[in-house]
Amino acid sequence: MARKQGDAESGKLGNKIYYTWHGRQCERSMPTSVANPRTEAQQAHRSNFAMISKLSSYMKEAHLIGLHWHAIREHNSTYAIFRNLNKDCFTPDGEIDLSRVIVSRGSVERVEITSASIDDNVITVTFDSRAYGGRATDEFYLFIYCPAFCTGRLATPVLRSASLVTAVLPSEWLQPTELTQADTNTLTHSHTNAFPLHFYAFLRSTRGRTSDTIHLSLHI
C-alpha cells in the first residue's frame, strides 16, 4: 500500500512501487515473475547453507573467540564469517567434512597437538609448549565437538607454557544410543558402539589475535 509523505509517495500501488532516491520521487514496476528454478545445484547450495548455519550455532563457543578479530575487522558477525569460511567443506556425498572445519584463523603461529587421551570422562590433550618470539603468554583454547549430539564444550583456556589442557565430558556423551532418522538429517550419523569426538584448538595472543585452527579426532 502506497503512503503519501508531503509531495512524495512510498510503497506499492497496483503494479508500481514508489520510493524516494536522493531526494527524487521514483517508481518501478513489480516483476511479473520471480526466478526460482529449483535446480539440483541450487537445492544443494541451499541445503549446504542450512547445514553450515546449524553447525555455526553448535560451534558458537569456539568461533565467537576464534573469529572475533576478523569480525571486528570486517564489521561482520562471527556467524557470517564462519559460514563463509566453511561453505565448501563438504564431502562428495554432501556431508560436512568435520576435519576441514575452521573455527579460528589468524597470523599467530599455531602449535601442534601431540597427544589426546580419555580416562573415565576426562579428556587430556597435550600440545607443543615451545614459544617462538616471546609468545609464552598466548592462551591455548580447545573446543570439543560431539557430532552424535550436535553439541560441543569449550575447555578452560590455559597458557601456552602449560603444555596440556583437560576437560570433563558430559556423561551422556559416553553413553551413545541409536539415533533416529531425524537426527541423521541434522549433521549426525547412527552410532552404536563408538563415535568420534572432534577437537578444534587455536592460540590467542594477549592482543586478541588468533592462530589457524588445529584439528584432531578421537573415537570413544
Distance between start and end Cα atoms, the chain = 60
Does residue 14 lie within any of the structural domains?
no
Domain annotation covers residue 31: no
Q: Is 35 a member of any domain?
A: no
16 in a structural domain: no
Q: Give CA angle at 79 (183, 35), nearest 5°.
A: 80
Q: Which pLDDT does position 139 carry in this prediction?
A: 94
pLDDT at residue 219, rounded to an integer: 78
Q: What pLDDT score was predicted for residue 144?
A: 95
Tell me how many domains the chain contains.
1
Please tell me the predicted confidence (pLDDT) of residue 188. 38
Q: How high does pLDDT run on average in the chain? A: 82
- pLDDT tens digits for 73-89? 999 999 999 999 999 99
CATH of the domain at 213: 2.60.40.10
pTM beyond 0.75: the answer is no
- The residue range of the domain holding 99 is 40-219
Assess if residue 3 is contained within a domain: no
User: Looking at residue 187, what is its pLDDT?
Assistant: 37
Q: Are 203 and 117 in contact (CB under 8 A)?
A: no
Classify residue 179: in a domain, yes or no.
Answer: yes
In a domain, 137, yes or no: yes
Give dist(CA 17, CA 26) in Å, integer: 8
User: Among candidates 82, 48, 173, which has minimal Cα distance to 123?
Assistant: 173
Distance CA 175, CA 16 (A): 61
Q: Which residues of 103-128 are buried (b: 16+ CB within 10 A; e: fewer)?
A: bbbbebebbebeebeeeeeebebebe
The 10s digit of each residue's pLDDT in 173-191 is 876 444 443 443 443 333 3
Which segments in the chain show pLDDT lower than 70? 1-10, 22, 32-38, 40-41, 131-134, 175-194
| CA geometry: angle 132, 118, 112, nearest 5 deg | 20
Residue 49 lies in a domain: yes
